Amino acid sequence: MPRIVPNLWFDTESEEAAAFYTSIFPSSRVLSVIRYGEPGPREAGLVMTVEFELDGQRFMAINGGPEFTFNEALSLEIRCSSQDEIDRYWDRLTADGGEPGPCGWLKDRFGVSWQVTHEAIEDMLNDADQAKVDRVMAAILQMGKLEMAEIERAAAG
């Protein structure tokens, strides 16, 4: 069965990013580092790729150059099981130059977009009671980091 491995394009920060991400998520590790050789296309010795694993999900980071940058068209979602987890991931990913965004979204210091959410939100937004769904969505739209106590109060009416 083929595996899908997201590839993240950096200018020169792939090794730093992999170390940052593996320090945040449990059961994470760097699997391999490959460097450019003499044929290039970048200078010999520069890290070319870093394969790493975040809690069982493999990723590849490449130092491909400055031609491409990250934007919100692609984000990585973290489905948390508690407010403590939301707080921990939000704080770590926005640290040292990360940027908070609306509705549980943020950008880390490398420009990668993340959604730090709670596993219960999908069920809340799929509820048969449309008024409840509307209250939950209205609450989320007023937030940066998600606050589950407020979202649960909105759901309850």
Digit-coded pLDDT (tens) for 19-63: 999 999 999 999 999 999 999 899 999 999 999 999 999 999 999
Q: Which helix (H) or strand (E) holds 75?
A: strand 75-80
According to CATH, the topology of domain 1-68 is: 2,3-Dihydroxybiphenyl 1,2-Dioxygenase; domain 1 (3.10.180)
According to CATH, the topology of domain 70-157 is: 2,3-Dihydroxybiphenyl 1,2-Dioxygenase; domain 1 (3.10.180)
What span, in angstroms and rounded, lies between the C-alpha atoms of 157 and 140? Answer: 14
The tokens for 50 are 């870093």
The per-residue pLDDT for 40 is 85
Domain boundaries along the sequence of the chain: 1-68, 70-157
44: Cβ–Cβ under 8 A, 6 or more apart, which residues? 35, 36, 37, 38
| Cβ(7)–Cβ(62) below 8 Å | yes
Alpha-carbon Rg for the chain in angstroms: 18
Digit-coded pLDDT (tens) for 67-80: 999 999 999 999 99
Matching CATH topology for 1-68 and 70-157?
yes
What span, in angstroms and rounded, lies between the C-alpha atoms of 145 and 150? Answer: 11
pTM of the model: 0.93
